[in-house]
Amino acid sequence: MFVALLLVMVTCVILGMGMPTVAAYIVTVAIGGPILVELGVPILAAHMFVLYFAVLSLITPPVMIASFGAAALAEAKVTATGNAAVKYAGMAFVMPFIFVYNPELLIIGSDLGPVAMVYTVATAIAGAVAFGVAVSGHPARTVPERLLYLFIAYCLVEPSNLLNLVGLVLAALHIGIRYILAGRSGSFQMGKKEYEQ
């Protein structure tokens, strides 16, 4: 399923480049929609998946029409503007996958109770935050930490309760270790200053 979603994503981004939103959606849904439905993706989630990536083709290099317009208005470099757009819209590239793996978030035809719905929404938000940490580099600054948060984001997006628990535990462990290390380095610096005085 995940490999098929990646292939449909690439197809939608390529076919949607240089086209208006409505035209890009019509072209991409004719190709990507039936494939996702055949794989068992709910119809609404399949259409949302295709629509998101058809729209995101407007900021995806090398065509990135919206980025060209933004660069002209800001009098900035086109390539830098396009890279910044993709970086800051990184969560938008993850949302379609969340809709596929957690179609309950679309709140149409969901048979989840209130508690289960809140839990699903909370894990999806936590996954979005973890992805933002991986992209922005705060507080995860090193490459292994960013990869860890990408894995955490995947665990939280997956509907499996076991993977959700793994993601939450890894995030809590990382934050706890960082907090302890920051406290030790802070106390060491304070003691050093007192010694020098």
Q: Would you give per-residue pLDDT tens digits along the chain (197 residues)?
A: 889 899 999 988 898 888 888 888 898 899 889 999 999 998 999 999 999 998 898 888 888 888 888 899 988 998 888 888 888 788 788 888 888 887 877 877 667 778 888 888 888 889 888 988 888 777 777 888 989 998 998 888 777 889 999 999 999 998 888 888 877 765 544 444 444 55
Burial grade of 177 (CB within 10 A; 0-12, 13-18, 19 or more): exposed
DSSP string, 116-133: HHHHHHHHHHHHHHHHHH
As a whole number of angstroms, the distance between CA 42 and CA 138 comes to: 35
